[in-house]
Amino acid sequence: MERLFVFFMFVMCCLSQYAQDGLFDKCYNWDGNAEKADVYIQKPDGFHPVYENGADVLVVNKNYKPADALYEGERVIALHPVALESDNKECVLLYPVISPTIPMLHGTPERELHAALGDENKDVSGSVRKIKLEDMSRYGNADVVYVYDMKLPESYLGRYSNCVGLYLRKYAHPALLMKVVMTDEGLSRRDDYIQKLLGSVRYGDAVSADGVKMESVAHDDSLRIANHIRCRHVQDAQNKSAK
């Protein structure tokens, strides 16, 4: 009887782990997976999926359009394949698209802050906090983490208007853009919820040849942006639209 109980518990644990792993499959781009990306996600306790199928799009400010928009309908949006809501309905954790071809998201925090404020000329450099410590184990094993707070003009899911953006970078790894959105009550536990999200995501330490190659491409793009030259993606899109 004892052996049967142990076997039953083993099977239940395996099924639970399988379901949990499947939950985050949507985060990995196309044929990617945790091992290939060297990014691992584990569902935190006390949270459940908001949507069983499909990705969720967070529109930072539906009434804001940046001056460099490629078409009339373009808005600052964030695509999050997995959204987990806390059981107490105080918070939602928004998980990232994980793609080996996106090693950096230069300027995204500032772009989202401008959208939330509805003013792209506002200096928001002081609104982004940089975390780079000797021991980054509490921060997803990233090299650096950028943290920024936004007040959403329109509440997410009709109740969450306080947003914390988290931008994680690690050399030769995909960039991770995540968010914590909270009710006013949940805002009092802001740091706890941030740690819930950061504690559920971890970078590995593998350095692949493809990762190094994409890091070089990202470096070139960052130099273009620093010199006020459009990044290759925007330039290519505008060239096509001009034809």
pLDDT of residue 101: 76
Q: Which residues contact 47 (CB under 8 A, 6 or more apart)?
A: 84, 85, 86, 87, 93, 196
User: Which candidate, 194, 58, 159, places its Cα nearest to that of 116?
Assistant: 58
Instruction: Please count the other Cβ atoms lying within 10 Å of the Cβ belonging to residue 174.
Output: 29
| Angle in degrees, CA 73, 165, 145, rounded to 5 | 130
**Inside any domain, residue 15:** no
| Least confident residue range of 4-18, 62-76, 131-145 | 4-18
**Inside any domain, residue 105:** yes
pLDDT of residue 76: 80
pLDDT of residue 65: 86
Q: Which residues contact 218 (CB under 8 A, 6 or more apart)?
A: 103, 104, 106
Quote the pTM value: 0.81
**Inside any domain, residue 121:** yes
Indicate the number of domains in the chain: 1
User: Which candidate, 36, 81, 15, places its Cα nearest to that of 204?
Assistant: 36
**Inside any domain, residue 138:** yes
**Inside any domain, residue 22:** no
Backbone phi, psi, residue 80, to 5°: -125, 110
**Inside any domain, residue 87:** yes
Q: Structure tokens of 118? A: 């509805």
Q: Find the domain containing 148 and state its range.
A: 27-242
pLDDT of residue 22: 86
**Inside any domain, residue 83:** yes
**Inside any domain, residue 236:** yes
pLDDT at 5 over 80: no
